[in-house]
Amino acid sequence: MSSFSPELIDYLEGKISFEEFERRREERKSRERKNGESVPTEENAYDPDAPSTSGKGSGKSRSRSETEGETTDGVSKSVHRVFASMLGENEDEEEEEEEEEEEEEDEETSEQPTAGDVFVLEMVLNRETKKMMKEKRPRSKLPRALRGLMGEANIRFARGEHEEAILMCMEIIRQAPLAYEPFSTLAMIYEDQGDMEKSLQFELIAAHLNPSDTEEWVRLAEMSLEQDNIKQAIFCYSKALKYDPTNVRYLWERSSLYEQMGDHKMAMDGYRRILNLLSPFDGERFMQLARDMAKSYYEANDVTSAIEIMEEAFSKHQSLISMEDINIAAELYISNKQYDKAMAVITDFSGIVVSKKVTEQGPSEENKDMKDVVAVVEIQESQVAVIDYQDFPAESSTVSEDKVSCSIPDGVPIDITVKLMVCLVHLNILEPLSPLLTTLVEQNPEDMGDLYLDVAEAFLDVGEYNSALPLLSALVCSERYNLAVVWLRHAECLKALGYMERAAESYAKVVDLAPLHLDARISLSTLQQQLGRPEKALEALEPMYDPDTLAQDANAAQQELKLLLHRSTLLYSQGKMYGYVDTLLTMLAMLLKVAMNRAQVCLISSSKSGERHLYLMKVSRDKISDNDDQETANCDAKAIFAVLTSVLTKDDWWNLLLKAIYSLCDLSRYEEAELLVDSSLEYYSFYDDRQKRKELEYFGLSAAILDKNFRKGYNYIRIMLMENVNKPQLWNIFNQVTMHSQDVRHHRFCLRLMLKNPDNHALCVLNGHNAFVSGSFKHALGQYVQAFRTSPDEPLYSLCIGLTFIHMASQKYVLKRHALLVQGFSFLHRYLGLRGPCQESFYNLGRGLHQLGLVHMAIHYYQKALELPPLVLEGIEADQTDLRRDVAFNLSLIYQSSGNLRMAQKLLYTYGIV
């Protein structure tokens, strides 16, 4: 290697670039020219047909085929010569070729490779790399020209020269990136240096480039497991199985890793492949694996697959079936309610014999002396054999008595006997159970309590409560099985038998042992209510969770909601409305939590009514709890909302809201009804429904008016009028609200609405009233006249016009006062004619004259009003329409001003007494 120029060595080792190599080569050539040495020209270096000169000045010419001929592997001879001279070693397979060209090599030993030679070398390497990429047969992708360098790298690694070996491998990777050998060597180098992570990376690359090496994939899987990378280990085992799919060990390891990852399906698929690969002579392993798979399927609630595995095991290896296998298969069939198959497995493989004795007795005298004919038929798969009696004569028809017996050999585990009892109970074969029950109760319930419970539950399933009660009573008296689930079964059994008092005690024990058991609480409450203990019934339905838990746990919210529904029904049936409202508000607060925050409403507990109850309250924004992670809170609210809507539908929640609003109004808690409506309007599910939104707005308006919150009522009625401007009922409510609100906001609202609806009659009159109250009599007169032209026969408009003229005439500075008075009274008389003689019309005329100071004429109309009875209107009490008190009071004022005090007193005593 020392015979080569230093720049060439640096370039091949990757220390310098091709441009740096060219620059240093030119500098070396210039120095050699100064020393008088001959250097081949660039033309000769790049022209393959030009004659080459040796160091001895030989003028011999060689053709291109002689100098650039290729060997059998497709690599030019010049490339072989360059690397052979560079490495200083010869390949054994090319000894003959080198001997033939030994003279030529001796002549060229002093010749230095040019830049063209290096360029040709790289082109040849690239061509060989592309050729190997196209080849399909598995072979090394390392070109023959680089194998020597690869060997040198391995030698350097063996000598401990790691840096040089790494540089050589990198150079090989640069020129032949698809060869796996340099990556494998690099992996060994880094492993020797202790860098296991880097070693694994290079080893994985090498394995990808040489994927058919299964042992290498397995070793990589083990290395991945050492670094706790289970996913990568599974991938490596999968690669190994691709090229060796029948390897049971690889399948087993990968399935175990899948189990560690929690991928039950993939693990079971792998175990199934193992079962199919096991030979018939490997039965013990087959049975053990089938047991483990059945248990795994059972734990994953896939009973059907577990049964299929056990059935396959029973069919292939019947001679290897153990009691454990029988127990597992029977348990699986029982859990799948296939009691006949469970019984068949027990009787077929455990040695237990269940037989039926059929005793036939003929009723005729000829058959009296006949002996009983007994047929013993073994039951297979719970199918009782049917004896054909058609061969007997018709007159000798018999009456049969069936007796089923059971024979259990010694050595059968008690677990299998109990499973046989369960099958007999469910198949309604109860006769052989007595000796089996005797055998069971001889066992200590502290040790065999689970078997007691299995038989007791079987009796409960078929309605044999009297048989189940002794077993359950023995369990609840034990220390080990004094559990909530056992007490629950005991309570259900007592309840079915009618022992309500004892059943209530058992349910109470369940609630003590498992306070979060919802069904037990509901059953206990129902029993206490039936026993006439309403307070204890309510006590059983006390809340189970605190508010913080309900806000975070969706399942807890679901359980609490079901309990509150039963509690609300119970409270309503007992007439406890405050408690009923408490439960309704609690349930709605669970649904409307986010909406209540937006509406600044919270649910508080207070004892202001003497007892502690829940109340809705308006709070300021700063008092609402600020959640820094509002998005997380909203996600929790969405999860809880999904659970709540699964318990109650949207319509059920709507009905619950209506019940809460009605109940609050019945208790005169109108302000809370308003707040509840406000919160509901912030709830998108209700607000997006137009019909429900309108109904909620009407509820809010009604609650605001009942609460005398006319300012808030105005906000509701204003929106309603904008959408239904021609609805008279809304205008009547609007007048009631504005009349009590003592607010003038509605003046501008009516004017703006009038611009959009100029033909609206109600708006015209209402704007006239607003202008009249504000003192704008001319504006009011214009509005009244517009209404009068539309409906000239309406008495109200004539009255309003007349009063407007009188008020204009009553002003201090006014022109043509007389004309105003004449017009005013002309409209008042028109009003009298349209309205007819009644208290109202005479009082209004007298009141107008009284205002103008024409008291003698006012007395005349007042006295006529006193003589007439009040109007009778449907739905209104007569006392509310009686104007005699008002007339008498005005008359008394007139008499007082004139000095007639006795007459004034007489009128007040006669009509003014309440």
**CA-to-CA distance for 4 and 19, rounded, in angstroms?**
18
Pair 491, 523: CB distance under 8 Å: yes
* pLDDT for 705: 92
- Mean pLDDT (10-residue bins), the chain, 914 residues: 57 57 71 61 38 37 39 43 41 43 44 64 68 53 81 85 87 83 85 82 79 82 84 85 85 87 85 84 87 88 89 88 90 91 89 72 42 34 33 39 76 88 90 85 87 92 92 90 92 93 93 92 92 91 84 84 92 92 92 87 84 88 57 57 81 93 93 93 88 92 92 90 88 88 82 86 88 88 90 90 90 85 91 90 91 90 90 80 89 91 89 74
* pLDDT for 17: 53
3-state secondary structure of 404: strand
* pLDDT for 300: 85
* pLDDT for 666: 93
Return the percent helix, strand and coil in the chain, to nearest 5: 70, 5, 25
Pair 475, 456: CB distance under 8 Å: yes
- Residue among 126, 114, 118, 140 nearest 174 (CA): 126
Q: Pick left, alpha or beta for residue 257 (phi over 0 → left; psi -120 to 50 → alpha; otherwise beta).
A: alpha
pTM: 0.64
**CA-to-CA distance for 914 and 897, rounded, in angstroms?**
24
> Which residues, listed in sequence order, are joined to residue 99 by a DSSP beta bridge?
none
Tell me the longest C-alpha to C-alpha distance in the chain. Answer: 166
| Residue 699, CB-side half-sphere exposure with 13 Å CA sphere | 27
Name residue 265's amino acid. K
* pLDDT for 82: 38
- Residue among 182, 167, 175 nearest 10 (CA): 167
The DSSP 8-state label assigned to residue 377 in this structure reads E
Listed in sequence order, the residues at least 6 apart from 720 whose beta carbon sits closer than 8 Å to its beta carbon are 697, 701, 730
Which helix H or strand E contains 559, and what residues bound it? helix 554-573
Pair 639, 554: CB distance under 8 Å: yes
